[in-house]
Structures are given as structure tokens and as C-alpha cells.
Amino acid sequence: MQISDKQPLLSIAIPVYNGENFLEKCLNSVSDAVAKLDKTEQNLVEVILCDNCSSDRSLEIARNHKFECAYQFIQTPEYYDNRTLNWRHALAQSQGNWMMMLHADDLMSVDGLGNLLAACKSQVNSSSVMIAGRIRTFSDTSSPSRLKPLWASRTMISGEELRKRVLPLICPFVPFTVMRRSAYIEVGGLNIAYELVQDWELWIRLLSLGDLYFYPSEFGLWRTHGFSEKYAKIFAVEHTLLSLDIRNLVPNLSSNQAQICMEIQLAKARNWLPDISTEGFSQIIQNAPDTLIKSFPSYEEAQKRLKWASRQVSLWLYWLRFLGMFRL
């Protein structure tokens, strides 16, 4: 496949709903990154903002913004209560060989777009279906962190090994993860059954088709924030439901690995809902098997499980990155 100036190489989809408090900063960060590119590279980028029928000034801010690259702003045909529908609508407009979502409260680093394009160019004809880089985290009360991950070498990580060893426990590639558009279409896109873990579930399916390329340069800054009681409940439910479906998502997963996945996701559910009773948890997970409810841990046991999972994921990612260096 050849890179063409008649088709974007990278599409950046920005879904937004009532984001007037942070949207302009997000768009300005993308504009600054676009301005650092030469004209040829600017022609390889398109930005798509998809507004979910906001009731604030989000669409006005989008209309008034200017980019030195292709830019379109659209609205969903109706308000979508499930934000996954907005994400799908935004990504459906993409024309690039590669595409990514930029959350409307996150920021592109000033060299982030140049780094993203360099990574995409290098992977046009590779086995990769996803690209990840390095990010900084920040919040409304804290300065940007150091670059994460610390790993500073290019590497091609096995998609199948990630599906077996890492993704049943945690999704470590959010945000600023790039997808091959043809692969996204092939697996059917984001699953609207999920509202908050839709990207994690998508990565599991995407990596059945290929590998993940890690490009050790900064892509952007990820805003961290707390969750409301409503979202904590949704997270708890969706992590649990995904663990029940893990054998369908990863068919070659052993029974023991599937059991560990369930135990870790239940630990996350307890972490988000520390005060809920076992009976209360049973009520929000409808038609759950008895074995799952009996495995719902205490808060103290949940912390032990999560610490163990964090160590396991760190070890496996280090090993898979190391092995992946020899695949380039």
C-alpha cells in the first residue's frame, strides 16, 4: 500500500457532548500540532468533530475553530444516551488508513501529531492493527506527569499474546491508541452493549487480526478524573459482564486464565463499589451465575487481587516488549 496525498493517512475523531469547559483547549492543542507539520504532512491528516446534540456551546466552538488540515464538524442525528453510539458515529466518518479517537478533554502534545504520522507511515504495510505511544497524565489539580510507559524502544508486540496474557486483566493502551481502519471495519467496530469499557473490548477483538506497534514518542496528555456513582456502577457491571464473555472473545484462553480474569474484574467491581453488599451486587448483575456471586471479594481481598494483577501485567508487558524488539 502506498501513501497517497488524495486520502488522509490519519483520521482524528473527536466525539463531544457538553464539553464547552475543555473543548477549546483540546482543539487548540490539535491546531498547534498541525501547525508544526509541513504542508505535505498536513494533507495527510483529517480532523472530525462529532457533537452529540450538546445543549451548551460545544457545536459553536467547533464551528468557529480553524485547522490547517482537513476538518469537518458534524452532529449525531439524535442525542445518544450511550456515548458509544457517538464514538461509532464519529469514527464512521473517517477516511484515513489509520484512525484514532481524541477525547474532548484531552490534549495533543505539540509534537504529538508529527510523532503519530511517523508511526503510521512506518506501519502502512506491517502486521500491526494498532499503534500505541507514550503519554503524560494530568488533572485539574496536578501538572503533567512524566512520560509513560518508561519503555523507550520501538517494538512489535504480539497481538495474540496480549489477548492471552494482558487484556483479560487490564487494558493498558488507553488513550491515544491508533487503529487500522480496515481492521476496525472487519471486526464490526465498537460494541454498543458497552458504554465505558467499549475500547477495551474492541482492542481484544482487533488484536485477533494482528499486532500492536509501540512507538516510543509522546502522543498527548490524558486527563484523569474521578467517576460519579452512576459511572462507578456502570464500570463495575461492564467489567463483570466482559469477564463472563472472555472465553468467546479469546477462544484459546484456558479455564484457569478465564477464572483469573473473572476474579480480577470482580476485584475492580468491588474497588468501584466498596460499600455494596453481595446481595446488592447480585441485584445489579442480573442472571449472574452463583459461582460469580460467591467469588465477589471483600474490599481487602480485592486490593490483594489488583496488586497481583498489576505485577503480572507489568512483567508480561516488559517481556512481550523485549521479545517484540526482535520482530522489527
Q: pLDDT tens across 206-230, in order?
A: 999 999 999 999 999 999 888 788 8
291 in any annotated domain: yes
Task: Please tell me the total number of residues recorded for the chain in this structure.
Answer: 328
Query: CA 103 from chain center: how many Å?
Result: 10
**What pLDDT is recorded for position 209?**
98
Q: Final residue of a domain: which of 166, 188, 223? A: 223
* Same domain, yes or no: 76 and 192: yes
3-state helix/strand/coil string of 78-112: CCCCCHHHHHHHHHHCCCCCEEEECCCCCEECCCH
Grid cell locating 39: 504542508
- Torsion sign across C-alpha atoms 218, 219, 223, 227: negative
Give the count of domains, the chain.
2
**What pLDDT is recorded for position 127?**
95
* Same domain, yes or no: 145 and 233: no
On the question of pLDDT at 162 being above 60, the answer is yes
**What pLDDT is recorded for position 4?**
62
On the question of pLDDT at 1 being above 60, the answer is no
Pairing of strands 45-51, 70-75: parallel
Q: What are the C-alpha distances in Å from 228 to residues 235, 273, 283?
A: 10, 11, 20
* Same domain, yes or no: 161 and 57: yes
Q: pLDDT tens across 89-142, in order?
A: 999 999 999 999 999 999 999 999 999 999 999 999 999 999 999 999 999 888
Residues facing 206 on adjacent strands? none
* Same domain, yes or no: 15 and 151: yes
* Same domain, yes or no: 264 and 317: yes
114 in any annotated domain: yes
* Same domain, yes or no: 274 and 243: yes
On the question of pLDDT at 23 being above 70, the answer is yes
CATH number at residue 187: 3.90.550.10
* Same domain, yes or no: 219 and 275: no
Residue range of the domain that includes 280: 229-327
270 in any annotated domain: yes
* Same domain, yes or no: 315 and 241: yes
318 in any annotated domain: yes
Q: Final residue of a domain: which of 162, 189, 223? A: 223
* Same domain, yes or no: 73 and 181: yes
36 in any annotated domain: yes
* Same domain, yes or no: 217 and 136: yes
Q: What is the mean pLDDT of the chain?
A: 94
The residue-averaged pLDDT of 283-300 equals 88
* Same domain, yes or no: 181 and 258: no
pTM: predicted TM-score of the whole model, two decimal places: 0.94
Q: Final residue of a domain: which of 223, 250, 268? A: 223
In the numeric block, the cell 521479545 is attached to 323
* Same domain, yes or no: 217 and 277: no
Greater pLDDT, 227 or 197: 197
In the numeric block, the cell 506501519 is attached to 123
Grid cell locating 128: 500491526
Contact (Cβ atoms closer than 8 angstroms) between residue 115 and residue 133: yes
DSSP-derived letter for residue 297 is P
5 in any annotated domain: no
- At 2, which amino acid appears? Q
